[in-house]
Homo-oligomer: A and B are copies of this chain.
Amino acid sequence: MVDLSFKIKDLYFKNPVLTASGTFGYGPEFDDFVDVSELGGVIVKGTTLEHREGNPYPRMAETPSGMLNAVGLQNKGIDYFIKHIYSEIKSYKTNMIVNVSGSAVKDYVEVAEKLNHLDAIPAIELNISCPNVKEGGMAFGTSCESAQSVISAVRKVYKKVMIVKLSPNVTDIASIAKTAEDEGADAVSLINTLLGMAIDAEKRRPILSTVTGGLSGPAVKPVALRMVWQVSKAVKIPIIGLGGIMNATDAIEFFLAGASAIQIGTANFIDPEISIKVIKGIEEYMLRHNFKTIDEMVGKLEC
């Protein structure tokens, strides 16, 4: 038999398949399709200090093998999350991880502090890479200095597992990953969306209300794989790979490139059962290739 589990610090994941923030709601949205408790983890929607309405409609544009979104972190804020959503989702038997976003360092810190107290939230994912908000967001993830400021501040107050989610919109993602590691991140996840744009030629207008948005889906997979590979040469902490994973083969590619776990995002929209199918597919691949643990497979690319 194969062992699909992996760990970040001492946090145990029964398998390496997580769902990506902003693409899986809080979990219940998928109850009809999958047993959420079977997942390695769920990263819930980006959560901010205050309630946010997000950007105006339209927020989505389909692109070749992908999509742009400009949701802009619509969420009801951390207090609402704690009061109303937490109780609904804490019974899932998997790692429920909150994606923390903000527009100022102190916002990140405050949200992280509050999450520290929730027993059923064993980890946070710091989103320093959202391209869809005016202040903060991606800006934090595009230079080592600004990344450092958020990460170190949150690290001081957050005691559990801290994952830092990196932006691909940079010249050198490896150096930003290194900064995250140096500042105490327990893992990095990459990639968030690539900044893109879509235009309606007939209407002569941008399709998104915000003009630009974040590109996700299989179109970005080659870039994501390359970045995971580059980051794996630069850091020792575990890497969670994502970007365009549509099936188990795609997931395996990320493991071989150096990821210890993966997230499934946009693919959930096309096949809401995909996350569970990917777990099964990884298991089959490991049997076929004689890998007994995920660890044996990580970075095993013969170059």
**Interface, chain A (partner B; CB < 8 A):** 61, 63-66, 68, 142-143, 169-171, 194-199, 201, 204-206, 211-212, 215, 217-223, 225-226, 229, 244, 249, 252-253, 256-257, 285, 289, 300-303
Contacts and interface: CB of A to CB of B under 8 A. Distances in A.
A265 to B, nearest CB: 14
Going nearest first, the 5 A-B pairs with the smallest beta carbon separation are A196-B222, A64-B218, A219-B219, A65-B65, A64-B65
Contact of A229 (B64, B211, B215): B211
A285 B169 CA distance: 33
A222 B215 contact: yes
Given A204-B300, A204-B302, A199 B171 contact: no
Nearest to A289: B204
Contacts of A170: 170-171
Tell which of A206, A211, A219, A285 has the most Cβ of chain B within 10 Å.
A219
A288 to B, nearest CB: 9
Contacts of A301: 199, 204-206
B171 A206 contact: no
A199 B244 contact: no
Nearest to A228: B197
Given A142-B171, A201-B256, A205-B302, A65 B219 contact: yes
Nearest to A198: B222
9 contacts: A61-B222, A170-B170, A170-B171, A197-B257, A198-B222, A199-B253, A201-B253, A211-B229, A215-B223
Contact of A252 (B143, B201, B222, B300): B201
Contacts of A63: 218, 221-222
Given A195-B226, A201-B256, 20 more contacts: A63-B221, A63-B222, A64-B66, A64-B218, A64-B219, A64-B244, A66-B222, A170-B170, A194-B223, A195-B223, A197-B225, A197-B229, A198-B253, A199-B301, A205-B302, A206-B303, A211-B229, A212-B226, A215-B222, A219-B220
Copies of this chain in its oligomeric complex: 2
Contacts of A212: 226, 229
Contacts of A211: 229, 303
A204 B206 CA distance: 41
A83 B259 CA distance: 50
Nearest to A302: B205
A198 B256 CA distance: 11
Tell which of A63, A199, A215, A257 has the most Cβ of chain B within 10 Å.
A199
A217 B222 CA distance: 12
A125 B218 CA distance: 31
B285 A201 contact: yes
B303 A249 contact: no
